[in-house]
Amino acid sequence: MKIIVIATRTDAATPEGMKPLLADEARTALSFMAEDFVREIYGREDGKGAVIVCEAANEDEVRAKLGKLPFAQNGFLEFDVITLVPYRGIVAAAKA
């Protein structure tokens, strides 16, 4: 199942607090990509986080896995998780 995540930095996320975690954050994110859990990741233009495309069984799996990121463990990220489904208009047109 394709799931989109909008990751937003919290008010607790300061450069000083995040800098020591940056290498571990990057390693963890890369391991998620190697596992095909994270399919795509983009920085937000506003600089307040990232947009992540995940492949997982459900939203609970996504939240549990992303909760292992060092930034999340330290309260620096919040996640809005959105499960995607096929667009109804295309599905209806294909059945017509």
Helix residue spans in the chain (DSSP H): 15-18, 22-34, 59-66, 70-73, 88-95
We report the CATH number of the domain holding residue 80 as 3.30.70.1060
Q: Which residue has the higher pLDDT, 17 or 92?
A: 17
Q: Specify whether the CB–CB gap between 75 and 9 falls below 8 A.
A: no
Question: Which pLDDT band, with edges at 50, 70 and 90, does 88 fall under?
Answer: confident
Contact 22, 28 (CB under 8 A): no
Q: Which has more pLDDT, 24 or 87?
A: 24
Residue 90 pLDDT exceeds 80: no
Domain count, the chain: 1
Residue 45 in this model has a pLDDT that exceeds 80: yes
Q: What pLDDT is attached to residue 33? A: 98
Per-residue pLDDT tens over the stretch 23-42 = 999 999 999 999 999 999 99
- Note down the domain range covering 90: 2-95
The tens digit of pLDDT for each residue in 67-81 reads: 999 999 999 999 999
Number of H helices, E strands in the chain: 5, 4
